[in-house]
Structure 1
Amino acid sequence: MQFTHALARCSEQRAQVPKPQKLPQLVLLGASGFIGSAILRQLSAQVDSPADLQFSVRALVHRRALAAEDLRLSLHQGSLENLPAQLLPDDSHVIIHCATKQVDQRDVFDDNLQGLERLGERINIATRAVIYCSSFSVYGDAAQKGVDEDAPLRPTTSLARSRLACEARLTELAHQYGFTAVILRPRFVVGQGDQFFLPSMARLLRAGIGIASGEQRYSVIDVDDYARIILDLSLAYANVQPPTVVAFNVGYRRAIALREIYRVLAEVLKLKPRLKFAIPEFMQVVARLPSPRLQRLGAQLRLLACDRYGVVDKLHTQLQHPVLLTDPADIIRRAARQLSA
């Protein structure tokens, strides 16, 4: 198999590659998406001018155009299924993979694993690490109360199964090629560009729909804080020897309850809803109805009906990042103001 031959050549040559004398380049997959856009914002915010950047960025752009003048960006049009030939540099580099397909009308999501396979065929001897943006959803649909990274992985949706398949394949590639794989598992990501979590919460609140007791708690992270974490991990694992495979739950150390989220939303959006908390039986009935829209609503309500938070001590120990101590209520308040703007 061509991939196996390339792997053998890579293994033979990797020892000959000198350790980099400067910070590695970043290869950003999904640069125009929700997370990728936040990473570019953070890179831009950390410098006064493009000349201040300590490393360059090669960005894979699929649909939306990007302006390259704000950063030392090398833009490459394409997709994971059709990777540009010059995307990965010959110099040492770290790949940030946040190009997961989130919507599939067929509900299969096989493009995600196929895309990772295509990436695996392009990884070269200068690839130091791959940061993969996975999801807390790989732990499954059961209540998740203080889940750590060693918890059983039991994904139930097609998207979650595709994420776990990508985690497993990336782990295989990391062992075979000798690079470090960092797997990130946030639960709910909010902030600029969020089209799911907080907008959905606001719609439910306006409709007076509560969910379960309201005491269930969630792990959340602002997308720009997530981007800072990704960039810090990129540097931390750029030259780890020996290479390793590591997974991190991502979120603030304090989980936030649904009631608190609703309270903050009501305050910022100036709402005075009368809540009728949904019961599990109602959610099950909705999920069985023939309407795809109602089925999605049922799945969403089930997702929010129980605890969805994990332990982030491992990430905190690795980075000692003060952002992890942020009060999630402040983040929800700031994101809610963006909704009302």
Structure 2
Amino acid sequence: MWNALGTFGYFLSMLLQSLMLIGVCIIFLVLIGVNAAQVERILGIEGLSKRIVILVAAAFELIPCYFMATVKETFLLTALGALCSAICAVVVVVAAFGTDSSKMGACLDGGTNSWPVYTNLQGLCLCWNTVVFGFGGINVLPSLLSDFHLRGVLARALVSFTWRSYLFIIVTYVAVAAAGFSVGGVAMASRKVDSNVLVGLSGCPSDQVEPVNWSLLLAYSAITLHVLFAFPVPFHSMAETLEATLGTRSGGLKPGLRGLILRLPRLLLLGLCTVLAYTLPFFGALLDVVAAIAGQGTVFILPVVFSVAIQRQQGMRVPCYEWILDFLCLLVGTLGAVTGLYYGLQELAALC
């Protein structure tokens, strides 16, 4: 980053990555509360609010986020998070294809499966930014791999495992999207039908008492466990970045009381994420705004700018095909950032 854009590029990149990492950690805590609440609703359990579940989840995350810090432990957490993601995606696909598509009929105007172009465009832009934000963990991968490489620990095996895991996760999430679309069609992009596949498959909100849907119960339970166990992966990336900046990374790896004391910034980070997840209103709309800025910037824009700048500084010729790919990435990132920011702010204004 220093070589590409100097001090400005370094701080800009760190700012966007920090927004991305903090946002991912916060939404993970929120998702635990939201999905656990769906499980409670299906089972008819009362007494536990979403906020209480968030606090309980944060207390559980103390163990993997504060007391687990070695390379081997981080590797195991990454593997567990990847496994949970894969299982979760498979369960959601099964639940989606097991849902009766007639439940969506009441959500459509006049029973037709069509929506205005504007509505579809708005839903598409918001969903696109959310997907990019959700997969933003891939952007943390280079810093993690660099840290592993510097210590020479399982470098080649880690690279191979990580990329294969992420590829498998992406493929299964595409299957989830296909399953949702097969049931809901374009209605999934409408405000009347939530863009969340499972919420959309639940049909339109109603006051009628419905029997327990075991496929949805299993899916929501799997998602809750998935987010609970996958949370330490982005959190460790954020904590390691902070510790590297403070110069406490090596000391925090040491066993005993000294190592625990040097990990106190992790405790503060977890507390910050918990407070924000517990108190922030309109989190979905805020997520769209942050995703538009940080997500599109770190996924599509900054990598292209850094790559071209470094190659030109070293006197290397950028191939024609790379210019074309770079242009497409910049175009997608710019359109996603502009539209996501516009619709996100519009949604925030409507909720305020």
Kindly indicate which of the two structures has a greater share of residues assigned to helix.
Answer: 2
**If the length of structure 2 is used for normalisation, what is the TM-score?**
0.23
Give the TM-score normalised by the residue count of structure 1. 0.24
Query: Relative to total residues, which structure has the larger strand share, 1 or 2?
Result: 1
* Greater RCO structure (CA 8 Å; 6+ sep): 2
